Structures are given as structure tokens and as C-alpha cells.
Amino acid sequence: MPSLDFDTFIKRLKKAKVVAVVGATVNVEKYGYKIMHELLETGYIVVPVTPKYEQVLGVKAVAKLQDINRPLDVVVFVVPPHVTGKIIRKLPAEARKWLIWLQPGSYTIRETTLLEQKGFDYVAGFCILKDFLLQLKNTN
């Protein structure tokens, strides 16, 4: 259930440069690692957002989105819904220009409703890895 149609969202995503991965991890079995790895391989500048690690895949991590000191284009959530909701509630109004990607398992209707109420462009229910990054890689 995206706030934009999927194709429009993907067109904007292709133009993006800087992506934050909320829930980035050093555990190679987890999507927070796999997604970050593919984003880096695809050429995005990636900021891992995790209070657990100082760096992920050699990139300096930040504990929370508010610690990022550069403009962001996209935020990918790879955390449980209650964490996603807490973060969304704290997003400042200027963050509305970001594209929000909610990975499966990172949201419920509460989180999508909150994003809609706050006026964010988001996509939910698709996997950024298989529905975008791997397809993008295969077309290049």
C-alpha cells in the first residue's frame, strides 16, 4: 500500500543518492546487512542507522536518524514495527522530502497510517532487495 504508485516511487528511488538503512547489521544472514550491501554495490551512499555497531560494512554507523549530518533521499526500515513507529513519530517536518521504504515485517497499519497523517511518501509490502535492487542489477 504505497502513498505513491510503485512505478513513480521507483523512478524517484533511481534518482536518489543517499540512503539510510534503519536496522543495518553486521549479521550477514539478516536483511539489514543484505540490503545495505546491495545498496553499496549499486552505487548508493549508505548510512547505517543502528545503536548496536560503530560501523557496518566499513561505513560509520549512527545511532539514530537525527545523527545523520547530510541530506537524505531515502530511508529503508528493517526493524520491528514498534521501533519503526517510534522513529516515525519523531521525524521532523523537513523529513517529508524523504522516500520511506517499509520492508515486510517492519510495519503494521499503525505505521502506514502515521506516515500518511504526517504527509510522507512511502512504499510498504515490497522488498527493496528483490523488488528493486536485484532487478536493477540484472538490467545493467
**CB–CB of 42/136 below 8 Å?**
yes
User: Is the pLDDT reported for residue 78 higher than 90?
Assistant: yes
Block residue for cell numbers 545523520: 68
**pLDDT value at position 137?**
65
User: Is the pLDDT reported for residue 103 higher than 70?
Assistant: yes
Which three cell numbers mark 41? Answer: 554495490
| DSSP per-residue codes, 61-107 | -BSSGGG--S--SEEEE-S-HHHHHHHHHH--GGGGGSEEEE-TTS-
**pLDDT value at position 131?**
85
6-139 topology per CATH: Rossmann fold (3.40.50)
Neighbour count for residue 51 (Cβ, 10 Å): 9
The mean pLDDT value for 4-26 works out to 90
Q: Average model confidence (pLDDT) for the chain?
A: 91
Sign of torsion over alpha carbons 94, 76, 74, 127: negative
The mean pLDDT value for 70-89 works out to 96
Nearest of 6, 27, 42 to residue 127 by alpha carbon: 6
Share of the chain above pLDDT 70, in %: 92
Predicted confidence band at 2 (pLDDT cuts at 50, 70, 90)?
very low
Domain residue ranges of the chain, discontinuous segments joined by +: 6-139
DSSP-derived letter for residue 132 is I
Residue 110's contacts (CB-CB under 8 Å, 6 or more residues apart) are 81, 85
Share of the chain above pLDDT 90, in %: 78
